[in-house]
């Protein structure tokens, strides 16, 4: 993973990027991570430049390495499960997990509608991934203020 530039970012934004980088590098089986705002905009990504294909590494099928795709999936799953919970009087959705033949997608609520999404390998230890996601949420939730979300959106827009 290539670490995104943190030049010019606030301490809170740099800390969130550090937490995200740590999640990807320290948890076995994690392919990519995205933090999405309540309105579906990508705030943080493990591969912020992956929206465009590079000649050396062509874009792979699905969200592996494609932060925009993962953000879209995370936003869609979050919306779908929130709607389902409302229909069933189930309260707020804490976590969603989709296990597939060739991988897993985890979505966890952070705060005020923001979501953390992880795409992992099929052989990942799901409990370890969920545990580290919960740690991220616990550490990031109070830091993800409207000002920091705005700053992160702007930094993602500047990413080539």
Most confident among 19-23, 59-63, 111-115 (mean pLDDT): 19-23
Concatenating the DSSP letter of every residue in 128-144 gives HHHHHHHHHHHHHTTT-
Structure tokens at 59: 């874009």
Look up the pTM and report it.
0.82
pLDDT tens by residue, 93-125: 999 999 999 999 999 999 878 999 999 999 999
- Residues near 70 by beta carbon (within 8 Å), at least 6 away in sequence: 32, 33, 34, 45, 63, 105, 117, 119
Query: Which pLDDT score, from 0 to 100, does residue 142 have?
Result: 84
The three-class DSSP label of residue 17 is helix
| pLDDT(85) > 80 | yes
If pLDDT is split at 50, 70 and 90, which confidence band does 54 have? very low
- pLDDT, average across residues 45-57: 51
- Integer Cα distance of 111 and 126 in angstroms: 22
pLDDT tens by residue, 120-135: 999 999 999 999 999 9
């Amino acid at each position: 993973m290539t670490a995104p530039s943190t030049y010019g970012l606030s301490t809170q934004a740099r800390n969130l990027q550090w937490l995200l980088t740590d999640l990807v590098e320290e948890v076995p089986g994690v392919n990519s991570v995205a933090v999405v705002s309540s309105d579906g905009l990508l705030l943080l990504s493990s591969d912020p430049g992956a929206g465009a294909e590079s000649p050396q590494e062509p874009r792979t099928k699905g969200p592996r390495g494609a932060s925009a795709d993962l953000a879209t999936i995370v936003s869609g799953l979050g919306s779908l499960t929130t709607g389902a919970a409302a229909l069933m009087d189930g309260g707020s959705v804490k976590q969603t997990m989709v296990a597939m033949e060739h991988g897993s997608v985890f979505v966890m609520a952070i705060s005020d509608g923001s979501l953390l999404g992880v795409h992992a390998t099929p052989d990942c230890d799901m409990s370890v991934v969920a545990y580290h996601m919960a740690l991220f949420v616990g550490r990031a939730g109070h830091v993800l203020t409207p000002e920091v979300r705005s700053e992160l959106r702007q930094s993602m827009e500047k990413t080539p």
